[in-house]
Structure 1
Amino acid sequence: MKFGITLARANSSLWPELTQRADDLGFESVWIPEHLVLPVQMAGSPHKGDEHPPIPPQTPVFDALNYLSFLAGTTQNIRLGTQVYNIGLRHPFISARAAATLDIVSGGRFEFGVGASWLREEWDAAQLDFSTRGARIDETLQVCFALWTEPVVSHHGRFFDFDEVMFEPKPVQPGGPPIHVGGDGMAALRRVARYGDGWLPMNHTLDMLPVSLQKLGTLWEEQERPGRPQISIGLPVESTDDVRRLADAGIDRLIIAPWQRTSGAIDGISRFADEIIGRL
């Protein structure tokens, strides 16, 4: 089992220290949330059953790949992930360049979590069609993969159209950083099978996972993909027995926040490393 830390539940003023401490303690990764802009008027939630957005519009938001590049310079081993990056809101040239830069400056430590987005008003503000976001994300990923792997790239698609370009340097990780697709429905599972290296379920409980993993396995085989996708999820863990149950269910990475308030975050990850990771 790999253990990651979500920075979303800590005040951003602590992110550098928290990441450095997690690196020292042997945590595998840290994951940063992302939005391009937060409209004053917004509705809905990424969390099933919630009617209101989980964050107010005045919430401080950083350019995720830029901030992770900074964290890369202060750490040695810990991997750096987005949970998740709204890749459909940018031109693929922008996302591909930022991702390649982060992968290079981190020495190949970038884990690229991407999502279709839940916030319609954010797409409206960017003057993009929320209803076509799935198709736009798929095409964006196709362009990014080409830029990361091919010497000369041209593309003539539904959303993007350009003649031959060159894109150097390539990411450190062959083929580009691993893509982790966020989401819970069939569209997300199909995107994992077609383009992803892993799946980031957002609203799944342990009881819900077997059915979804079976569907994902079938889709993965239909695409004739080798191996299996990585499964990364945020679920509560209180004991090593909890970890073993999650591992038996097919989970590869737990993304956790073992604290109640930011003031307890450093002690929380230290305690988790000692009481859970150290006893496995």
Structure 2
Amino acid sequence: MDYAIALPFGGPSVVDPEWVTEFALHAEACGFESLVVAEHSVMVGESASVYPYSASGRLAVAGTSPIPDPLELLSFLAARTRTIGLATGALILPHHHPVVLAKRAATLDVLSGGRLRLCVGVGWLREETEACGVDFATRGRRADEQIAVLRKLWADSGPGGADHDGEFFRFRGALCHPRPVRPWGVPVHIGGHSVAAARRAGRLGDGFQPLGVSGAELRRLIGVMRREAERCGRDPGALEVTLSCPLRELTPERAAALAVAGAHRVVLQAGDEASDLEKVKDLMEWCAAAR
């Protein structure tokens, strides 16, 4: 398995250029496969939406906490690192126009030497999605079409360009250069905790990142992804599975269990220790030595 590491979600550290640079360089030196950055376009002071990844139903990060744009942050870190992968986890796809996103992602991929991976989701915070001008109820269909648009614009469509006539997006003769380093484009993984996300991964993704699930439910969702891939004539064995684990909880036994669950990659997440860079660096070194 590969091991990635997530930057802290929110807080002053992630907008401190010296702090994030040192975090990224140390992760690269320790041999981590990639850096992972999550997204929220805006936060909402009063929300009726339920956060699906905590028992309280509330996101622990305050709405006033700095949450940088993931592609901008990854671009900053791309210029300061050399080999470590750069990944979103997850980019909220319906909030982005796919024509603009295709150019942004391809540019970052080319300038970083092909290091970008997009993990995308459809979002859970209704008020945030609506603030971005998107109908919350149609975000799943929109995301499916957005992935199709990204693939078309990244493909070699010849001098005539790419055409698309969909429910949400339309264009003719579109040429998007530079194209990503890989001939098939930037890898697009699907993040989420629902059957719809698992099916989307099997049907359209290069991988699946189940969020907030474990045990029997995790096995069920991975099975859904694989069956959907087979139904669509795709090879389920070619789809990567990315799982998560708290940085301080990675033991040989936990790593073995994640491998048995089907993980190709494990994203390690810092908890309360994230505010102490030296402590996080020590944990990175411990994990690197232990795996």
TM-score range (shorter-chain normalised) is: over 0.9
* One-letter amino acid matched to 1:278: A
Q: Deviations over 1:30-80 (max 9, x none)?
A: 100112222333232131533223332212122211210110111111101
Quote the Cα distance in structure 1 between the aligned partners of 2:57 and 2:32.
34
TM-score (norm 2): 0.89
- What residue in structure 1 maps to residue 41 of structure 2? 36
- What residue in structure 2 maps to residue 204 of structure 1? 213
Contact 1:258/1:269 (8 A) holds in 2:
no
Question: Secondary structure of 2:272's partner?
Answer: coil
Residues 1:164 and 2:173 are matched in the alignment:
yes
CA change 1:65–1:178 in 2 (3 A) is same
Quote the Cα distance in structure 1 between the aligned partners of 2:209 and 2:174.
32
Q: Deviations over 1:54-108 (max 9, x none)?
A: 3322121222112101101111111011011112112111111111011011100
- Of 53, 57, 63, which residue of structure 1 is paired with 2:69? 63
Contact 1:111/1:179 (8 A) holds in 2:
yes
Unaligned runs of 5+ in 1: none
Aligned residues: 279
- What residue in structure 1 maps to residue 3 of structure 2? 3
Once the two structures are superposed, the pairs formed by residues 1-280 of structure 1 within 5 Å of their partners are: 1-9=1-9, 11-12=13-14, 13=16, 14-43=19-48, 44-149=50-155, 150-151=157-158, 152-226=161-235, 227-236=237-246, 237-258=249-270, 260-274=272-286, 276-280=287-291
Cα RMSD after superposing both structures: 1.8
Moved more, 199-208 or 94-103: 199-208
Quote the Cα distance in structure 2 between the aligned partners of 1:272 and 1:67.
20
Displacement of 1:262: 2.6
Question: Secondary structure of 2:276's partner?
Answer: helix
Moved more, 46-55 or 150-159: 46-55
Question: Secondary structure of 1:8's partner?
Answer: coil
Moved more, 220-229 or 112-121: 220-229
Question: Secondary structure of 1:65's partner?
Answer: helix
Contact 1:220/1:228 (8 A) holds in 2:
no
Unaligned runs of 5+ in 2: none
Identity percentage of aligned residues: 33
Q: Deviations over 1:205-241 (max 9, x none)?
A: 2443222222221111111212332111212434212
* One-letter amino acid matched to 2:259: A
CA change 1:272–1:89 in 2 (3 A) is closer
